[in-house]
Chains A and B, each alone.
Chain A
Amino acid sequence: MKKLTLSVASCATLALSLTMANTVHAESTVDYTKMSSKEAADYMLFMTNSFKLDLPVQEGGTARDRLVQDEIQKICTEFRGKRPDAETAAKVSKMARESIKYPAGGIKLGDWKIGRELAWSGFGYRVGHKNDDHSKAKNGPGGNCYNCHQLATDRTGGNLGPSLTGYGKLRGNSEAIQKYTYEVIYNPHSLFACTNMPRIGANELLTQEQIGHIMAYLLDPESPVNK
């Protein structure tokens, strides 16, 4: 009786894997010319094994989650980098504001020396042929700040974002400036709807503590950014 059950089970498994093998090649039976370009793109992204969607990612879950768009991503995609209209901008900024979580003890500046390393580091969250192992990074994943911004003048920064050289020197260190700086870093859409800048806090790229270190790098008068 046991033998029979086993062979039925293996038969079923074989049938299932054959069916799955057919669905793996589903793209050859799909007609992209009958879909809108958006439908075709979505189909290719999720249904054709074009991406390694089942690989685990550093934040938990799988790579598939990274292709699913949230509300802000869906809205901002439509503008293709151009500034959204005032109504959409207001809507996006409001959503962004509502996402901001302030530190429990209030906003505090951390250590600019750690902030300097975090700002320079481009390490973290990469997946695919190589996966960033966060346990190997002394300060955790980096902020990628220098990729887009010029900060201190001893290192070369990009220009996708505005220069932040002399950031604290120009603005001072008031509570209002600290709050503003925290909000821009945490969720830049709160002030710049559909910005190209990542949502460092809202998307949990950096912890509140790490953001505090980067804020120190920006605002501490002793930081190279302000020398």
Chain B
Amino acid sequence: MRAKTCVLLLSALTLGSVQASSEFADMAPEEILERLIEDSSSAYLGQSPQNRQMMPDNPAYWVAEEGEELFSTPRGPNNVSLEGCDFGKGPGVLEGAYVELPRYFEDTGKVMDLETRLVHCMTTLQGFDKKDPAVKKRHGSGSDMMKLQTYIAMQSNGMEWNPPMDHPMEKAMRDAGEEMFYRRSGPMDFSCQTCHGTTGQRIRASVLPNVNEPHEWTKAISWPAERAGHQNVRSTQHRLRGCLWQMRHPGIVAGSDASIALISFWTDAARGQPAILPDLKR
């Protein structure tokens, strides 16, 4: 009896420590953001009361609803659902999976983000061809990719960013990403640091997040998010592509090693802060 109690207590404690900040996990995205603003008075976080007002009606929720249905629907030549897909915490386990990406996967021998892992499962489990529109179309609220990503990411709302750094490959990708983040090149000599290295910096009217401030950076990397100005839900890879375009750097390939390295670095930079998913941005 005592041993049983001990085991129960131990497992309760273990489960509790999986998400150390469960207070945020029960909050809506706008409530998490509100709390971060209260605690920090960050100009970046607080720059759009209008966007915050819209968050309870975030169109991303509808996109996620469609994603939930897609997830459990048997699809592709193999006619199976994505419930067998392992996002790092076991097949079909979505709770907390997104905040532990990118991570190393034994079955592919690579560090993968959500998008590359989805492509992997859709092509191997479901049997889709890489060129099939279901896999190939990565952008827009109407795409399967964005529906699935938005749904899966939402299951980590309020949880602390916690990408694993135990495997040497995870560290190698993250460290390479750090080098890239600070690397100045191109006709305008820009690095990511040019815009994202100081608090309160503004491009025209937009306040930029500082990579060195985790409470700002958590919102910066909270994708998928509805881009109000685009009227579409956008992904992490879409944000990366957009940055490099404005930086006058060459176009990056989604899921490439360089993209994973940068995303590994930038997720690690938000470590410990609660994810805001889905977010709503300008």
Contact = CB atoms under 8 A, between A and B. Distances in A.
B21 interface: no
A21 to B, nearest CB: 14
Contacts of B70: none
Main SS of chain A's interface residues? loop
Contact of A158 (B168, B171, B204): B204
B251 A205 contact: no
Contacts of B51: none
Contact of A80 (B182, B189, B190, B252): B182
B241 A76 contact: no
A198 B250 contact: no
Contacts of A126: 245-246, 248
Nearest to B258: A50
Interface stretch (A41-49, A106-114, A219-227): A41-49
B26 interface: no
Interface residues of A, number: 52
Contacts of A203: 187-189
Contacts of A63: 250-251
A128 B244 contact: yes
Interface string B180-221: 101111111111011101101111110000000000000000
Given A41-B177, A50-B256, A147-B204, 6 more contacts: A51-B253, A72-B189, A77-B191, A81-B194, A198-B189, A204-B187
The 6 nearest A-B residue pairs measured at CB: A128-B251, A50-B258, A63-B250, A50-B256, A37-B175, A41-B179
Interface of A: 27-28, 32-33, 35, 37-38, 40-41, 44-45, 48-53, 55, 59, 63-64, 66-69, 72-73, 76-77, 80-81, 125-130, 144, 146-148, 156-160, 196, 198-199, 203-205
